[in-house]
Amino acid sequence: MRWWTLQQLKSKNPKVRIEALGRLAEKPSDSDLDAFLGCLRDGEAGVRAAAVTALGKLNGPKVIDRLQIALTDPAVEVRLVAVDELARPGENNNLSALESGLKDVSSQVRYRAAVALNSLGWQPGNPNLEAWHLAAKGEYEKAAHLGAVSVEALGTAIKDCTDSQRQVIIEALSRIGDVRAVKILKNALQDKDYNTRIRAIEALARMREIDAVSSLIRCLKDEVPRVRAEAADALGKLGDPQAVDALFLLLKDSQWDVRQAAVSALGKLHDPKAISKLAVALKDRDHEVRESAIKAMREIGDPAAIAVLVASLKDENSSVRHSAAVTLHSLDPEWEKSERAREAIPELKSALKHSDYYVRQAATDALAKMGESRAMEPMLSGLLMPSQIRRDAVLEMLQVLLGDEDGDLRQAAALCLGRLGDRRAIPLLEGSLDDPDTWVRHAAASALKQMNWQPASTDTHMKMLSSLKLAEESQMTQLRMAQ
């Protein structure tokens, strides 16, 4: 029934054609060669793959030639089968054909070809083939050690591998000083995986590749904040002034770490025109951005920054104030005497009314250094120490508790006010002498006694004595009952 099987190769059903080729391949005959070759032109990839498998069971130059042609088939599955058949022990081995498989566009085919060559005891005849062989097996770092000869192989591998593999390839390419490697890395800046984009940015910065500046500037608009920050950092390291205007736009970014990276990069570019933009960053809502802006001004080294830096001496964050002081001294050891510093005096004076004690104190110190102590004396009369602020807060809380509906809380508040000893509480304690609770009245009387209070009227004095006596009698009664 072999003739019937051959007839089935003409069936309109691809599945029937594939099954027929399978049966013929079980006991192939040289007379079947033309039938197999005809199936290599079939419109279905599955049929062509089955034809390659069947063809591999035969031997001869014509077979080898057709298997090599199958390595160029548009379908990956056909090329994979062709590699397997060329790798079978026997007359059909063709090392040169398998070597071409190392350069296939599919990573599957490249890997299968590398494994096949290894199984046949093949050794690369030159560094170029060795690079393709290593890259096909996924040994990218070893390939990179061969130098520029591996760039093409790594460039092919990066097109169809996993995210993590692309990142390894980028790292490998960054160690090769070749213009083709730079082109591949610039293309990787548009990779679908943001971590891969970041690795490409870092690699270009590490290579000090000035030709990549325009590509990195485009990365400042990336949808991922971390990519934008890394691009800004890279541009700072490369030091090309064409990045300045693009970095200015990043100072308004919604993410604090992106803004911080932008100000740091501007400092590394040493462009004096950045001072006015960095001055805006000194008012950023994030203190790390403000501190980075100050350090950037220090790197730029332009005394024009003194006026805005003096204002930062009264920043709410201590590290920002310290950084501003260090930077001012580095720009001008006698900054206090400069006209630029005096431009900040109005802002420092307004800070004397700030709600934060340390801001007020910092503004006071700055003004004192600039010889403005006498001019600000009226403003300093209301300057409160932190201890006074805390005391006021406690007093306010106890005054509220003194009016609580819970008698025990009112009693505790009265006792605490006595220990606090703040005479501003006397009017409230006087009112508590009329409290309906005996022990609250006693606590209020005791507190007033502790503060050496002198009643203004005989009636009030009698209330105090009565409260103290009543409480003492109650304590005596409780003691007798306990005995």
Would 85 be classed as within a structural domain?
no
Query: Which whole number is the average pLDDT over 414-430?
Result: 81
What is the DSSP code (8-state) at residue 242? Answer: G
Would 451 be classed as within a structural domain?
yes
Query: Which whole number is the average pLDDT over 440-462?
Result: 78
Query: Which whole number is the average pLDDT over 267-296?
Result: 95
Mean pLDDT score of the chain? 86
Q: How confident is the model at residue 461 (pLDDT cuts 50, 70, 90)?
A: low
How far apart CA 222 and CA 239 sit, in angstroms, is 21
- Give me the pLDDT at residue 390, please: 60
Question: Which residues, other chains included, contact 34 with Cβ-Cβ below 8 Å and sequence gap of 6+?
Answer: none
Would 476 be classed as within a structural domain?
yes
Highest mean pLDDT among 244-258, 441-455, 463-477: 244-258
- Give me the pLDDT at residue 380, please: 45
Nearest residue to 132 via CA among 160, 99, 106: 99
How far apart CA 282 and CA 291 sit, in angstroms, is 8
Nearest residue to 136 via CA among 153, 118, 151: 153
- Give me the pLDDT at residue 460, please: 66
**Cβ count within 10 A of residue 374:** 7
54 touches 32 (CB < 8 A): yes
Widest CA span in the chain: 136
> How many structural domains comprise the chain?
1
Q: How confident is the model at residue 118 (pLDDT cuts 50, 70, 90)?
A: very high
**Between 479 and 87, where is the model more confident?**
87
480 pLDDT higher than 80: no
170 touches 196 (CB < 8 A): yes
Q: Is the full-model pTM beyond 0.75?
A: no
Structural domain harbouring 397: 391-482
Share of the chain above pLDDT 70, in %: 89
Label residues 132-152 b or e (16+ Cβ within 10 Å = b). Answer: bbbbbbbbbebbbebeebbbb
Would 251 be classed as within a structural domain?
no
Would 409 be classed as within a structural domain?
yes
114 pLDDT higher than 50: yes
How far apart CA 437 and CA 202 sit, in angstroms, is 74
Would 19 be classed as within a structural domain?
no
Tens-digit pLDDT profile for residues 194-219: 999 999 999 999 998 888 999 999 99
- Give me the pLDDT at residue 381, please: 46
Tens-digit pLDDT profile for residues 20-77: 888 888 887 888 888 888 888 989 999 999 989 988 888 878 888 888 999 999 999 9
Burial environment of residue 66 by CB neighbours within 10 A (0 to 12, 13 to 18, 19 or more):
buried
Tens-digit pLDDT profile for residues 343-381: 888 888 888 887 877 788 888 888 888 877 544 444 444
- Give me the pLDDT at residue 11, please: 87
251 touches 277 (CB < 8 A): yes
Query: Which whole number is the average pLDDT over 228-250?
Result: 95
CATH of the domain at 441: 1.25.10.10
- Give me the pLDDT at residue 220, please: 97
**Cβ count within 10 A of residue 11:** 13
- Give me the pLDDT at residue 91, please: 58
